[in-house]
Amino acid sequence: MRRREDIKPGFDAFKEWVETQHKNILTKGAIGRALHYAVNQLPLIEPFFEDGRIHLDNNAIENKIRPLALGRKNFLFAGSHEGAKRIAMMYSFFASCKEVDVNPYAWMTDTLNRIGNHPINKLSDLLPSNFQKL
């Protein structure tokens, strides 16, 4: 695997350097804290070299939640804290609809028509991921 061939030697050298520096620099300052953090976090990167499915970034998730993060700015103008909660809830529902390729209007219409007679212990049946496309 190219990761092991191209990246692992440099990673191992850096990890060894960090461990050596961490043992020699016992300061509680910024450098000491950074080295301590690196010593704890670098071992968590090891699976990256063994499994090609693992990515070192979280760009895919960042891109999926970006509309929600941008919507948060709009919550400032919701009129009240309760209004902002409702907007956030609707954003979450519609993002879930998009994720499972469900028409939000069809899902919302169906859910509002069914929720009054639906058992409280089975509300998860009404989530977009469980919506039956007609």
DSSP string, 12-46: HHHHHHHHHHHHH----SHHHHHHHHHHHHGGGGG
Flag residues of the chain having pLDDT under 50: 134
Give the Cα separation of 14 and 21 in Å (integer): 10
What pLDDT was estimated at residue 126?
A: 93
% of the chain residues with pLDDT over 90: 48
% of the chain residues with pLDDT over 70: 92
Side-chain-side CA neighbours of 20 within 13 Å: the count stands at 6
What pLDDT was estimated at residue 71?
A: 67
Per-residue HEC secondary structure of 59-78 comes to HHHHHHHHHHHHHHHHHCCC
- The model's pLDDT over 41-70, given as tens digits with 9 standing for 90+, comes to 999 999 999 898 888 888 887 887 777 677
**Alpha-carbon distances, residue 14 vs 39, 66, 83, 122 (angstroms):** 11, 33, 50, 52
Domain boundaries, the chain: 2-49, 59-130
Q: In angstroms, how far is the first alpha carbon of the chain from the final one?
A: 46
What pLDDT was estimated at residue 134?
A: 47
